[in-house]
Amino acid sequence: EGRLITATCADLNRKAADGKFRRDLLGRIDQFRIHIPPLRERLEDIPLLVGRFLEKHAADRFVQMTPSAMEYLQTFWYPGNIRQLENAIITALARSNPAGMIWPRHLPDEIVSPSNTGEAEAHRIVQIPRHLSYEQARKSVVRQVDKMFLGPLLTECDGKLSKAAVKAGMDRGTFADRMKDAME
């Protein structure tokens, strides 16, 4: 006697109905089903997972995640699910100091620069983690919008802050402050 545990993100009922998965095999493995939603639907789990991945991959180093880096991690949509989060932590550890803090600059580009994922998907990324207070949620959304809008605008203006600020309809100092806040 033995037990078989399987996992998939595919809709096996649909695949079986379409003839792309054997119905008899589905009947054998579909005795007890556990549905685990994708990470993007349970952002409140991210701090716990980050802690576990830091513990697993930091070896004997003592490394902490800054609140701003954690905010980036909690607002990304994770098309690669938990593996993508774990890989982000591994990347951040490789980029950070041996004993210290993980800042947003240590995270993978696709997490801190949503414009790299394409404009259509960048607009999907704005999410509000459920555990935040109203004021924290508002700040998170403003930071995300600034990140998605101001970064690409600055790139479009060849890195010229004054030109990008004029296009954004704000003065140079305000633009610089918002860019700094968005990228922390």
79-110 pLDDT, tens digit each: 888 999 999 999 999 999 876 899 999 999 88
| Per-residue model confidence (pLDDT) at position 116 | 43
The string of pLDDT tens digits covering residues 34-73 is 888 888 888 889 999 999 999 999 988 889 999 889 988 9
| Per-residue model confidence (pLDDT) at position 124 | 47
Is residue 69 within 8 Å of residue 75, measured between CB atoms?
no
Rounded mean pLDDT of the chain? 83
| Per-residue model confidence (pLDDT) at position 133 | 83
Task: Kindly state the tokens that stand for 62.
Answer: 């003592």
Q: Nearest 5°: CA angle at 146, between 144 and 149?
A: 105
Q: 116, 51, 110: which is closest to 86 by C-alpha?
A: 51
DSSP 3-state of 48: helix
Cβ partners under 8 Å of residue 73, min gap 6: 46, 50, 65, 85, 88, 107, 111
